[in-house]
Amino acid sequence: MNADLKGFLPVDAVVVDGRPGLQWMDMSGVSLAEPLFQQTVERLRADDRRELFTEFDVLLQLEKELDSVQPTGFIFHSSRCGSTLVSNACRAINNSIVLSEANAIDKLIVRFITDPGDIKTSLYSVFLRGVVHALAQRRTGNEEHLFVKFGCCSFAQVEQIKRIWPNVPWLFLYRDPVETIVSNLKDVPPWLLDNDRRVLASIAGTSPAEVAEMSLEELCARTIGSLFSTAHRLANDGQLLLNYKQLSVPVISRLLRFFKVSPSATELETIEHGSQIYSKEASRKRTFVADADAKQKFASEAARKAAATWASEPYQLLEQKRLEMNLMKSGEQS
Amino acid sequence: MSATTLSPGKHVVATDFDGGEGILVDLNTKKYYQLNETAMIVWKGLEKGKTMGEIAADITSSYEVALDKARVSVERIVDNFQTYKLLTAK
């Protein structure tokens, strides 16, 4: 393979001197152990790991050279709804690679919105396939499964993603809109503060100028409402809808089987242990505390109003569809 | 110049996309080219060292088209590849 990139993984999609491309980091001997891919990158940056920039075309060459794992399952979500718990569970499976909200993936997907056009869409699709291929390279030789958890906004482009990987099963995980809004406002995530307002404008069905004037409550509600509608429109027997309130070890075990992976007893024990810890913390020491009731109780009037106006109806429709699909019903716990 | 003496340039990378279509990237110019299914068949034929006649025959086995018309299409596509300096002489 390209000698300069041996041991390197693409860690970001960037523009350098007007040239769009990828930032690569030497990740030799490093496992992607943190809950989120960028947490691993930040840990390594503290060690002064070597980094370099290439343009996207290198991906096409690497795709022919690298031995990589094909995707096992995709995890989409509507933000703050347990998707990191699910991706952590996937990481508990032996010989698995989990790419959890990797910048290089999600930023390429954003280009479907910010840089549209038939040829560009094809080109970015090829690059997206290439960047996943590069990230999924077999570094120990034993890797068998590849799970990709996308950033929440990437679900808006699920149809483009399906064009690239039409046969990969996917999950859409979601949560009560009031609880989702409360969580996002308590600790505002980067996607909600994105300066390039074209992305949220596209998802929310409005203009960048309107997004700039919108309250965070409304912006969050309109975004998740749109994601719920997309899931409602596209989910069928090849996909899985999962509500945060269903999450439990038996349900996660069923989810893994939906991805055609059979967890062993030891792996289920690891998943059980992991489910008791706050999922996004890299140190894995903070205990998870269920907070759905507290989020409902302390929701502001603005959050409730935004949820009712923009997200509650698509949420109810999605819940109805989930019940109709009934794939996970027997796994629900009362 | 005969097509039998032409082959894809080492500075060009091709990749399949979307069930038959493809993308070429010229690593020298950093230009990208989107190929339709027919152009991709021609490119892959050239990669395998086939003549234009052989590639035209391949096309007639996949599409309801006469050999002479397929050959005209192949020649036009190869001309385009040459115009953009995507081929090299063996």
B25 Cβ under 8 Å from any chain A Cβ: yes
* B11 located within any domain: yes
Interface of A with B in 26-55 (CB under 8 A): 55
* B59 located within any domain: yes
Does A126 sit within 8 Å of B15, measured CB to CB?
Answer: yes
- Percent of chain A at pLDDT > 90 equals 81
| CATH code for position B81 | 3.90.930
Residue A11: phi, psi to the nearest 5? -110, -10
Q: What domains sit in chain A, N to C, each tagged with a CATH number?
A: 69-331 (3.40.50.300)
Q: Best of B23, B29, B43, B44 to disrupt the A interface by mutation (most A CBs within 10 Å)?
A: B23
* ipTM score assigned to the predicted complex: 0.76
Residue listed under structure tokens 């100028």: A209
Does B32 sit within 8 Å of A60, measured CB to CB?
Answer: no
What are A38-80's pLDDT values in tens digits? 999 999 999 889 999 999 999 999 999 999 999 999 999 999 9
Contact by Cβ (8 Å): A200, A124: no
What are A311's two structure tokens?
């997200």
Q: In what order do the strands lie in the sheet with A19-26?
A: A8-16, A19-26, A51-55
Q: In what order do the strands lie in the sheet with A73-77?
A: A96-100, A145-149, A73-77, A170-174, A239-243
Question: Going by DSSP bridges, is the β-strand pair B31-35/B21-26 parallel, antiparallel, or unpaired?
Answer: antiparallel
Q: Widest CA span of chain B, in angstroms?
A: 37
Q: In terms of pTM, does the model score above 0.80?
A: yes
Reply yes or no on whether the pLDDT at A246 is more than 80: yes
Q: Best of A66, A126, A164 to disrupt the B interface by mutation (most B CBs within 10 Å)?
A: A126
Note down the domain range covering B44: 3-85
State which residue of chain A sits closest to B15, comparing Cα positions: A60
In chain B, the number of structural domains is 1
Q: Widest CA span of chain A, in angstroms?
A: 58
How open is the CA angle B19-B24-B25, to the nearest 5 degrees?
Answer: 140
B72 Cβ under 8 Å from any chain A Cβ: no
A126 Cβ under 8 Å from any chain B Cβ: yes
- Strand-pairing partners, residue A68, are A137
- Burial group, residue A234, by CB count within 10 angstroms (0-12, 13-18, 19+): middle
Q: According to the model, what pLDDT value does residue B17 have? A: 84
Q: According to the model, what pLDDT value does residue A220 have? A: 98
* B24 located within any domain: yes
* B15 located within any domain: yes
Reply yes or no on whether the pLDDT at A290 is more than 80: no
B32 Cβ under 8 Å from any chain A Cβ: yes
